[in-house]
Amino acid sequence: MANLHHPGKRWAPVMHLSKEGNDLKRVACLCVCSLVLLIALAACAPPLPAAVASAPPTSAVTAEQWAERYPMEYAQWAASVHGVAYLAGDMAAPGCTGCHGDPAGGETRTVPFRLNIPAKCGRCHADQQVTAKHGLPNDTYESYLKTFHGATVAYYRATDPAAERYEAVCSDCHAAHAIHAPSDARSSVAPANLLRACVKCHQGAGPAFATTADGHFRTDRMASPLLYVLELVYRIGIPLIIGAMLLYILLDILHRVRSRAGGGNQS
């Protein structure tokens, strides 16, 4: 359509392009803002529960038979928090075959078994019903996976179960059978005993090491308010910054396309 004020020039296509450009801009803004909102919501949402090991097959071996075969280990387990609960009738507490098969078969000395120990402990310590029933923290397994030890063990368990790793698993710190509450003086992670547990791997560690080392990394608002706030800022801030950059790039591309198309139509 010809421009009546300036014959030979056409302006309707330019106006039409401008309208389409504005529509594209609105669509781009809507898409980017929606993406940023979804990312922010996903970042603030509680994490998915970590994968735990599957339940072991039912064993026909009785507790009495285990006591006859392995009297020392059985005595340690029977006096532990697990054994006391199990022998009192709490079938949710781990018995011998709840954690391993017969050690005579060599299973407990294999690399895959060691890498799988935290996931086995997580069957109970990540179960909301079990932890609530016994008054235990419900993030024991998750907070372990946030540490260097846990993250590395979980990585190799998923990618290379045959890799022989030295990072600490649950039984390295808490023992395999003689497991007691950290407040119990018999516990290997009781304040007076913790350094002895650490130096098994960290040879030469001094007394201060046991006061700073933590086998469970918690960032909730109660345990570590500052880390909780920083984590929240990162979870929300990073998606917003990336979204703003994407929006800027899209708007810049649309502006350049419109400028070139408008200049070509006016010539």
> What is the pLDDT, as a whole number, of residue 73?
95
> What is the pLDDT, as a whole number, of residue 112?
94
Residues 153, 250, single domain; the answer is no
pLDDT tens profile 22-59: 666 666 677 767 776 776 666 666 665 667 877 777 77
> What is the pLDDT, as a whole number, of residue 11?
44
> What is the pLDDT, as a whole number, of residue 244?
81
Q: In angstroms, rounded to a whole number, what is the distance separating the alpha carbons of residues 61 and 47?
A: 38
pLDDT mean across residues, the chain:
82
Structural domains counted in the chain: 2
Q: In angstroms, rounded to a whole number, what is the distance separating the alpha carbons of residues 27 and 16?
A: 17
What mean pLDDT is predicted for residues 163-172?
94
Residues 41, 92, single domain; the answer is no
- DSSP, collapsed to helix, strand or coil, labels residue 54 as coil
Residues 130, 37, single domain; the answer is no
Where does the pLDDT of residue 13 fall: very low under 50, low under 70, confident under 90, or very high at 90 and above? very low
> What is the pLDDT, as a whole number, of residue 120?
94
Range of the domain at 211: 63-230
> What is the pLDDT, as a whole number, of residue 47?
60
> What is the pLDDT, as a whole number, of residue 14?
43
Residues 168, 82, single domain; the answer is yes
pLDDT tens profile 18-31: 555 566 666 667 77
Residue 125 lies in a domain: yes
Residues 104, 222, single domain; the answer is yes
First to last CA, the chain: 14
- pTM of the complete model: 0.70
Give the DSSP letter string of the chain. Answer: -B-SSSTT-B-HHHHHHHHHHHHHHHHHHHHHHHHHHHHHHHHHSPPPPPP-PPPPPP----HHHHHHH-HHHHHHHHHSHHHHHHHTT-TTS--GGGT-S-GGGTGGGSHHHHHHHHHHHHHHHT-HHHHHHHT--TTHHHHHHTSHHHHHHHHHHHH-TT----S--HHHHH-SS----TTSTTSTTSTTTHHHHHTTTSTT--HHHHHH--SS---STTT-HHHHHHHHHHHHHHHHHHHHHHHHHHHHHHHHHHHHHHHHHH-
> What is the pLDDT, as a whole number, of residue 75?
96
What mean pLDDT is predicted for residues 169-176?
95
Residues 92, 165, single domain; the answer is yes
Least confident of 14-18, 104-108, 194-198, 199-203: 14-18
Highest mean pLDDT among 94-98, 176-180, 207-211: 176-180
Residues 41, 91, single domain; the answer is no
